[in-house]
Amino acid sequence: MNTNWLTWLTVASQGALCVTFAMAAGSKTAKVGAFADFRDSLPRMLPVPRRWVPAVASAVVLAEVTIAVAVVVPVLMVAAFLLAALMMAVFTGAIVTMIRRGSVEPCHCFGVSSRPPTRIDVVRNLALFGLAVLGLVGSVASPGPTGLPLAAVALCAVAGGVLALLVVNLAEIADLWKPTSSASS
């Protein structure tokens, strides 16, 4: 078997980005009113002109669905990784803008949230950006998991999916280590 570590990481990146972008799109479309909530939150979160809001909201969801599907299709993989990196750069810039503006509007990245974005969200997005770049480099260097046994491909994809679940829930995981306030006697 003549494979390299980059092939393994590319397959794991595919799994992670497929799950991440499917969760993001699903959280905005799966429930009645979820897309409207996302669309209506945009002008409260970012300086998006009202007339552009429907197009921007639709484009975000369309890009998320496209990435989730295309990243696992060998002939579309390079373009999907490139689009994922671009989207993560845009999303990171949007979150940094919200933080700098002091926005208290909850982010709708992965559904309705009760908290405004924080630096943890920036770290999450930078990690996803890194996965997209890693996948892009790997898919250009070695297109497709040729030479990997099917079980290895499945293991890498599942590992990537688990990584996605951890990254998507990074803020909640970080909250587990926040000090709790004790009641004073």
Best-predicted range by mean pLDDT among 41-45, 51-55, 102-106, 108-112? 51-55
User: Where do we find the tokens 């293991």?
Assistant: 155
Q: What is the pTM of this model?
A: 0.85
Dihedral, 17, 82, 113, 43 alpha carbons, nearest 10:
-160
What span, in angstroms and rounded, lies between the C-alpha atoms of 121 and 28? Answer: 18
Tokens of 101: 């503006």
Taking only the tens place, the pLDDT of each residue in 55-91 is 999 999 999 999 999 998 989 999 999 999 999 999 9
Confidence of residue 2 (pLDDT cuts 50, 70, 90): very low
Taking only the tens place, the pLDDT of each residue in 15-48 is 999 999 999 999 899 888 889 988 988 888 888 8
The domain ranges of the chain are 15-171
Give me the phi and psi of 56, to 5 degrees please. Answer: -65, -45
